Structure formats: C-alpha cells, structure tokens
Amino acid sequence: MKLIVGLGNPGKKYERTRHNVGFLAVDWLAGEMRWQESARARALYTKIDLNGMAVELLKPTTYMNESGVAVAYVAKKHGLKSADIIVVHDDKDIPLGEIRAQPGRGAAGHHGVLSIIERLGTKDFWRVRVGIAPAAGVRGDTAEFVLAKFTKEEQGILLQAIERAGEEIKRILSS
C-alpha cells in the first residue's frame, strides 16, 4: 500500500488558495471517490487503485503546520515505510505550473513538510512540488501570498499543473 498526502488548510476560507494545491492534486486523483473523515487521523481519506496498486489518499484536516500528525498516524496504522509516502504541496520558489518531484529533500521552509519530517523522524519520502510563483517571483508578505486565491488567468495553468502532478505521482508509483 502507498500513501499520497495532499497538503492544504481546511475550511471554505482556504479552498482554491495557493497553499491548497496539494488538496487539489489528490482531489484530481480521487476523481468521483467519496472522502471519509477519520477523527483519529485528523484527516479526510479515500482509497483508490492506481497502476494496480492500493493507494490511500489523505487530506489532513489540521492546519498546514500540523500536517505531520495525520501522516504519522496513518503511516503507523498501516505499517508504512517512508518510501511508501508521497507528499504533494505548493512551492512558492517554483514558477506557476512547473512540477518537481524528488525523494529525501528537506522542508525548504514549508511548514507542512517540516511537520511531516518531524513526526516521521525522516525526510526520506517523495515530494511532488507544484509551483505557485508568478513570473516576477513572490513579492511582499509570503503568508498573504500563499493564502491568496489564484487569478482567473492563473487558473488554466493551475489545472494543467494539477493534472501533471497526478501523472507524475502515477509515474513514481510505477517505478
């Protein structure tokens, strides 16, 4: 079994914000599957089959900086190794629409990833980073930027990026 975690913040206020592209990516993978809530895991989850493999998709219902709580709980419950975990999240240092996937990277200032590293005690899991930065780069307050919604012009690029992130996850699973 594999675990794919989409990072984001819960609640209507944060829907479709830059910080929630991880949620959007796992929603794309889930398709029409229904999400269930686990109070113990503090997350929403659904199970799917990807490339012939059993996969649990996870959306922590904590705020970003506590994402590791849900990931550690589910990893322990299923006896998963860190190599069985893929985390999808936003990256303000990558141009909007670009995707980068790498295992074993540090948090690079991302509080959700840092929480997961701290709770798992390792950074040896896959990260699929979805770029959210405008061409000119991020200016001003970073927190304000990542909690902002995408502009109409950016939404088309975002949808393509979410699909590419999903395809990258499928590639990782088949390797």
Residue-wise pLDDT for 63-98, tens only, equals 999 999 999 999 999 999 999 999 999 999 999 999
| Surface-to-core class of residue 132, CB atoms within 10 Å of its CB (0-12 exposed, 13-18 middle, 19+ buried) | buried
Percent of the chain with pLDDT over 70: 97
- Beta strand pairing call for 53-60 and 43-50: antiparallel
Catalytic positions are 19
- Residue 137, C-beta contacts closer than 8 angstroms, at least 6 positions apart: none
**pLDDT one-digit tens code per residue, 129-144:** 999 987 666 667 788 8
Q: What is d(CA 167, CA 105) in angstroms, rounded to the nearest whole number? A: 20
Say what the pTM is: 0.95
Ranges of each domain in the chain = 2-174
Tell me the per-residue pLDDT of 145-157, one tens digit each, with 9 for 90 and over: 888 899 898 999 9
Inter-residue contact 19 to 110 (CB < 8 Å): no
CATH of the structural domain 2-174, one choice from 3.40.30.10, 3.30.450.20, 3.40.50.1470, 3.40.50.720: 3.40.50.1470
